[in-house]
Amino acid sequence: MGAWEKAHGRLERRSLARVAVSPEEIGLSGCWQVLAIRREVLDLCQVGATPGVETGYYASSVTRHERDAAGMAALVREHWSAIENGTHYRRDVTLGEDACRVEDRNAVSVLATLRNLTNGIYELERERERTQVDTLNSWLEQQTFSTAWPLLKR
């Protein structure tokens, strides 16, 4: 088990186990190793809390010879960091996805599609240098129906 790390109001430590496999034996095209990452998490905001334990399982196209255990652990953390700091943050914090209490499955699907569309249009506008703002929230504050409609028609 690794050393405790402090981040986001909690302590975490991880351990990694990995097994070399072939795509044929595991039935996943391009899979050369399987990982299990065990995380102990202690919430610092809860008085008297005990560490919770969770295990994440991963399939990778990277071979054991390409990356050592520490390198694989870093790849997994980078992957989740990109998700948390990118799309998930925008959908959850800026667009309020987790706070949304809609229960109808069709409505949930439509709202998710609209959130993805919003995120995609913003990314295209940034990539094409058609906006000077650096956050989705700032971009949304500038939008009205009359400014958004032409973007959808492009």
Q: Are 142 and 96 in contact (CB under 8 A)?
A: no
pLDDT for the residue numbered 111: 92
Q: Are 43 and 49 in contact (CB under 8 A)?
A: yes
The low-confidence residues of the chain, meaning pLDDT below 50, are: none
* d(C-alpha 30, C-alpha 124), whole Å: 31
Bridge partners for 61 per DSSP: none
Distance of CA 20 to the CA centre of its chain: 26
Joined tokens for residue 92: 């959850």
pLDDT for the residue numbered 13: 92
Bridge partners for 55 per DSSP: 38
Q: What pTM, to 2 d.p., does this model score?
A: 0.59
The single-letter code of the amino acid at 148 is A
